[in-house]
Each structure stands twice: as structure tokens, then as C-alpha cells.
């Protein structure tokens, strides 16, 4: 093998990690332990509910919300250590959900990612809580589970409202872009759908938020996906440690396989270290060839 070829092979091998992104699973809760009070990241997190404890239960390997209008939330990082997105980095939530009944209400079912302030330590904290004011910035995606027209997906950026994700979306929330999702689909009661909420920092001053639901909708025989994406360029939120759900239409719902992945790029120190290794390899090969 010639020196040039060896150098090419070495540099190619070392270059692979430079462009690769790393994916870290922050939460992967399947509720196999039938316990919503166990904080043992990343396989389990403690869940809190704005109503009484009986409104949110873990049983049968799922998380079950008994009534509408309540907020269920959990923290997927240690307190004071949110995930912060650099440019090209993203955080992705995936979950399975089914509804006992559905309701025609704009953004009736909501999922959201936020950056907490004062953390909840127990249930019955109320849909509206002063602890949410001035903190818990973030994004929520809403879907109309029994839509009767197009544009069933909506996005909101949360500001200073005392309401996190449940109740009425009013003062303190800003809708991002137009509603989307294409031709409307109605969720079938008791069917399981996979939801995905992805937040990506596309550059220093832009965040992209995507929402999708996949499953067999009412009247269909095969699975399809409803999806939409919006862009935020003002008052960005790029740090996250809180996940919340709420259903303000229909009745009870069930969640399972809740997963949060953080996709990062290597730190500059990693690039520097790899460059150093490459340089040493070049020197070693040159010496071996007597160059």
C-alpha cells in the first residue's frame, strides 16, 4: 500500500465521526412497572397531574388520563440541567396515544416541551398555577382529533401565561404560522396513533417545530400520516427539561412508549482531539516511509 493510500484510508476513518451526530435517549418510559411515581431516568420518570392523583394512573403497561382538561407533566432531566440545543441540534418526542372518545376542538389534544422554573413536587397543582408564570417557556403542538375540515394541526409558543398546556389557550400563547396537516383525518376511538413532536435549532436565530400523527384514521383501511412544520424566529426557546400533555376535547386517553431523544453534534474539543490524532497518524506514516 502506498503512503498516499494509507493516508487516505486513515483520514477517511477519522473523518467519519466529524460529520456524525450523536443521539442520546433522555427518556424511554414504557410503564412496564405500572408506576408513575418512579424517577429513574432514562427508563422511568415521575409524572404529576393537575387534578387529584386518581386522574392519572399507570396500569396495564400504559399511562391513563381519566378526565379532560387536566395537565400531566414530567421532568426528563435533573433539576437545573435542561438540554440546550446548539445549531443543527434537535430534541424529538415520540409517543403512542389512544382516545376513548374524540372531540371536534381546535388543538384539543396537546403535547409540549418546555424549560421549567419551579418544579412540581406533587399532584393537584392546578391547570393554572403561578409557578408557570415567567418560566416554562417552550412549544406545544395541538391536534383536532375529530376535525370536520382541513388544517387539524396547530403550533403555539408559550409565553407568560399561568396555564402551561391545559385549559384555554389565550393570553401568553402565540400561534406559530398557519394551521396545517393537509386534508383532515378523524381519529378513531380506541385506535393507537404514534405522535411525534420535533424541535430543531436550524440556525442561531431560527427554530423549526414539526408535529405528526400516524395511524389508521376513521374510514381508512391503511395507515397514513398527518404532518406539519412551522418556523419560529422570535423569542426562541432552545432549552428543555419538561414534557406535558393535555386533552381538552373528548374523554380519557392512554399514553405509552414515551421517548425523548436529543440529537447533538460533537463539541469543538472533539474536533480538536480528532484533528490531533490525524496529525500524529500522518507523522507516523511519513516516518515509516522515510519521508
Give the three-class secondary structure for 284.
Answer: helix
Please give the mean pLDDT across all residues of the chain. 87
pLDDT of residue 283: 40
Name the residue ranges covered by the structural domains of the chain.
20-288
pLDDT for 269 beyond 80: no
Phi and psi torsions of 83, nearest 5°: -80, 125
pLDDT for 8 beyond 70: no
Count of residues making up the chain: 291
pLDDT of residue 15: 46
pLDDT for 17 beyond 90: no
Q: Classify residue 188 by its DSSP letter.
A: P
Q: What is the mean pLDDT of residues 253-281?
A: 69
Residue 5, H or E segment:
helix 3-19
**What class is the 20-288 domain?**
mainly beta
pLDDT of residue 273: 43
Confidence class of residue 278 from pLDDT cuts 50, 70 and 90? very low
pLDDT digits (tens, 9 = 90+) for 158-181: 988 889 998 888 778 999 998 898
Of 99, 133, 136, the C-alpha closest to 244 is 136
Instruction: Return the CA Rg of the chain.
Output: 22
Q: What is the mean pLDDT of residues 252-274?
A: 79
Confidence class of residue 267 from pLDDT cuts 50, 70 and 90? low
Q: Which of 8-17, 80-89, 281-290 has the highest mean pLDDT?
A: 80-89
Q: Is pLDDT larger for residue 253 or for residue 275?
A: 253
Q: Which residues contact 18 (CB under 8 A, 6 or more apart)?
A: 266, 271, 274
Amino acid at each position: 500500500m502506498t503512503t498516499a493510500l494509507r493516508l487516505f484510508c486513515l483520514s477517511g476513518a477519522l473523518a467519519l465521526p466529524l460529520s456524525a451526530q450523536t443521539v442520546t435517549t433522555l427518556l424511554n418510559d414504557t410503564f412496564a412497572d405500572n408506576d408513575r411515581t418512579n424517577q429513574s431516568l432514562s427508563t422511568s420518570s415521575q409524572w404529576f397531574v393537575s387534578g387529584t392523583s386518581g386522574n392519572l394512573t399507570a396500569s396495564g403497561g400504559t399511562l391513563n388520563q381519566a378526565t379532560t382538561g387536566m395537565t400531566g407533566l414530567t421532568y426528563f432531566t435533573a433539576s437545573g440541567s435542561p438540554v440546550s440545543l446548539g445549531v443543527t441540534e434537535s430534541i424529538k418526542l415520540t409517543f403512542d396515544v389512544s382516545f376513548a372518545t374524540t372531540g371536534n376542538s381546535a388543538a384539543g389534544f396537546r403535547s409540549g416541551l418546555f424549560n421549567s422554573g419551579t418544579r412540581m413536587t406533587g399532584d393537584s397543582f392546578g391547570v393554572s398555577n403561578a409557578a408557570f408564570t415567567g418560566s416554562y417557556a417552550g412549544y406545544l403542538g395541538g391536534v383536532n382529533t375529530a376535525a370536520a375540515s382541513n388544517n387539524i394541526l396547530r403550533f403555539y409558543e408559550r409565553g407568560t401565561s399561568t396555564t402551561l398546556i391545559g385549559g384555554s389557550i389565550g393570553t401568553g400563547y402565540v400561534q406559530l404560522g398557519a394551521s396545517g396537516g393537509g386534508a383532515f383525518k378523524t381519529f378513531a376511538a380506541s385506535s393507537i396513533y404514534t405522535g411525534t413532536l420535533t424541535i430543531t435549532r436550524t440556525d442561531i436565530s431560527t427554530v423549526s417545530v414539526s408535529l405528526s400523527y400516524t395511524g389508521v384514521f376513521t374510514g381508512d383501511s391503511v395507515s397514513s400520516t398527518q404532518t406539519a412544520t412551522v418556523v419560529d424566529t422570535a423569542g426562541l426557546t432552545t432549552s428543555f427539561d419538561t414534557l406535558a400533555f393535555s386533552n381538552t376535547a373528548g374523554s380519557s386517553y392512554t399514553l405509552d412508549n414515551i421517548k425523548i431523544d436529543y440529537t447533538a453534534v460533537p463539541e469543538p474539543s472533539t474536533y480538536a482531539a480528532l484533528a490531533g490524532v490525524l496529525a500524529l497518524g500522518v507523522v507516523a506514516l511519513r516516518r515509516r516511509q522515510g519521508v
